[in-house]
Amino acid sequence: MRKSFYLIFLSAGVFMGCSASRSQLAGEQPNVLTTKEKKEGWVLLFDGQTTSGWHTYNRDTVSKNWKVVDGALVMNPREKTSRGMEDLVTNSDYENYELSLQWRISEGGNSGIIFNVKEAPKFANTWATGPEMQILDNEKAEDNKKENHLAGLLYDVTGTASLSKPKPVGQWNDVRIIQKNGHLTFYFNGQKTLDVQQGSEEWKAMIAGSKFKTWKDFDVTPSGKIAFQDHGYEVAFRNVKLRTL
C-alpha cells in the first residue's frame, strides 16, 4: 500500500513537473505572436533569427556590431568599428502605433530606444531628430546623476527616480511606447512613466527645459523610424512587436 502510494505520488510529481516546464517554456518563448496578438494586428519587427527589416543608421546594411544571439538583437561593443556610434534603425517609418519590447543591459551600460527618427546624411545621429526612452543601469552607469536620465524615462526631458524601476542587470525589462495623434505614453515594467501631448504647451515647456531646446530639427513631427542605440555598451532586445493604431 505504501509502495503504491509512493509510486502514485512520484508519478503525479513528475507529471506536474513536466507540465510546469512545458508551461514555463511556452510562456517564455520569445519573438512569437500569439493568436490573440495576430488578431489585434501586432507584427514582429524582429523575427528572432535575422536582422531583416533593420539597417545601421545612414547605411544600407547592418554593421557587424549588431548580431542575433540566442533569439535577441545584441549590440556587441567588441565588434565596434572606427565609424563611431552605429545605431540600428527600422527600414520603415511609423506614426500612430504601440511598440512593445524587452531589453537587457550590461553592467554600467547605457543605450536607448529612439523614435520619430529622420534619416538623412545631414543628421549625423538618430538622436538629432528623435526623442529617446532611456535604457540604463541606474546603479553603475555614469549617466545616472540626473533623474530624467534614468531608465524608462523620456531622456533629458521629464521623469523622476520614483518612476524608474528597472530590473537587476542581466534581467529583461518590459517596455511599451504608445504614440497616437501626437499623444505619447510610456510604460516601463508596468509603470506609466510618461503621458503627454506632443506640441502642447506642457510639451513645449518640457523641451525648453532640456538640452534639446535649441535643436530645430528635434521631434518636428510625430513620425519616423525607430532606433536602438549603440552607446558603446552591450545591450540586447527581443520580443519587438508593433501594432498600428
**What does pTM read for this prediction?**
0.88
CB atoms within 10 A of CB 185: 15
Angstrom CA distances, 190 to 14, 32, 49, 139, 227, stand at: 34, 21, 27, 20, 22
pLDDT at 85: 80
Q: What are the structural domain ranges in the chain?
A: 1-30, 32-244
pLDDT at 77: 86
Concatenated DSSP letters for 109-137? -EEEEEEEEPP-TT--SGGGT--EEEEE-
pLDDT at 28: 63
CA pair distance 167, 163, nearest whole angstrom: 13
Mean pLDDT (10-residue bins), the chain, 245 residues: 40 36 51 97 98 97 95 88 82 98 98 98 96 98 97 98 97 98 97 97 97 96 96 96 98
Query: What is the CATH class of 32-244?
Result: mainly beta
CA pair distance 67, 63, nearest whole angstrom: 9
pLDDT at 14: 35
